[in-house]
Amino acid sequence: MVNEELLALLVCPMGKAPLRREGDVLICSRCGPRFTIKDDIPNMLIEEAELPPGCGSLADLECVKSGAAKLDVP
């Protein structure tokens, strides 16, 4: 089982907002991407996160649009 103390230290890789756990998923409390937990390991790669409904790309995330997070695009 994933250590709850470790989970409490994790934040969204985009806007650094706290995450909440729902089953085997961590969800950003600000912009909503969902990060899966597989074999007790959270996958925190934003490129592999499930985007929230109505969000077509990372640029559409609320934290990016508000300027709280920046996309690292060359």
Q: pLDDT-based confidence at 68, cuts 50/70/90?
A: confident
In the numeric block, which tokens belong to residue 40? 């007790």
Which H or E element spans position 4?
Answer: helix 4-9
pTM metric for this prediction? 0.85
What 3-state class would DSSP assign to 67? coil
What 3-state class would DSSP assign to 25? strand
| pLDDT at position 54 over 60 | yes
Residue 26 φ then ψ, to 5°: -105, 135
Residue 2 exposed, middle or buried by CB count within 10 Å (0-12, 13-18, 19+): middle
What are the tens digits of pLDDT across the range 8-47? 889 999 889 999 999 999 999 999 999 999 988 899 998 9
pLDDT for res 32: 94
Domain annotation for the chain: domains and CATH numbers: 4-65 (2.20.25)
